[in-house]
Chains A and B, each alone.
Chain A
Amino acid sequence: AQTVTQSQPEMSVQEAETVTLSCTYDTSESDYYLFWYKQPPSRQMILVIRQEAYKQQNATENRFSVNFQKAAKSFSLKISDSQLGDAAMYFCAYRSPPAGGSEKLVFGKGTKLTVNP
Chain B
Amino acid sequence: DTEVTQTPKHLVMGMTNKKSLKCEQHMGHRAMYWYKQKAKKPPELMFVYSYEKLSINESVPSRFSPECPNSSLLNLHLHALQPEDSALYLCASSRLAGSGTDTQYFGPGTRLTVL
User: If A42-B108, A105-B45 touch, does A95 touch B100 (CB 8 Å cutoff)?
Assistant: yes
Which single member of B31, B43, B111 contacts A45 (CB below 8 Å)?
Answer: B43
User: If A45-B43, A103-B48, A107-B42 touch, does A33 touch B101 (CB 8 Å cutoff)?
Assistant: yes
A103 and B50 form a contact (CB under 8 A): yes
User: If A103-B50, A105-B45, A110-B42 touch, does A98 touch B88 (CB 8 Å cutoff)?
Assistant: no
Complex Cα distance, B103 from A4, in Å, reads: 18
Task: Say whether B115 faces chain A, with CB atoms less than 8 Å apart.
Answer: no
Complex Cα distance, B106 from A46, in Å, reads: 7
- Is chain A's interface secondary structure helix, strand, loop, or mixed overall? loop
Residue of B nearest to A100 (CB): B98
Instruction: For residue A79, give the distance in angstroms from its CB to the closest CB of chain B.
Output: 19
A50 and B56 form a contact (CB under 8 A): no
Interface residues of B in 4-18 (CB under 8 A from A): none
Task: Say whether A117 faces chain B, with CB atoms less than 8 Å apart.
Answer: no
A101 and B104 form a contact (CB under 8 A): no
Residues on A with C-beta less than 8 A from B111 are: 43
Per-residue B-contact encoding for A25-54, CB less than 8 Å = 1, 0 else: 000000111010100001111110010100
> What is the interface residue range for chain A against chain B?
20 to 34
> What is the interface residue range for chain B against chain A?
20 to 34
Interface residues of B in 73-108 (CB under 8 A from A): 88, 90, 92, 94, 97-101, 103-108
A35 and B33 form a contact (CB under 8 A): no
Instruction: For residue B88, give the distance in angstroms from its CB to the closest CB of chain A.
Output: 6
User: If A103-B31, A103-B33, A103-B97 touch, does A47 touch B45 (CB 8 Å cutoff)?
Assistant: no
Beyond A105-B104, A109-B42, 19 additional contacts (C-beta under 8 Å) are: A31-B100, A37-B106, A43-B109, A43-B111, A45-B43, A45-B92, A50-B103, A52-B101, A89-B40, A96-B100, A98-B99, A101-B98, A101-B100, A103-B97, A104-B45, A104-B48, A105-B43, A107-B42, A107-B43
Q: Which 9 A-B pairs have the closest CB atoms?
A: A107-B42, A45-B106, A44-B108, A98-B98, A97-B100, A103-B97, A98-B100, A33-B100, A103-B48
7 pairs, A vs B, C-beta closer than 8 Å: A31-B100, A44-B108, A45-B92, A46-B106, A95-B100, A96-B100, A98-B99
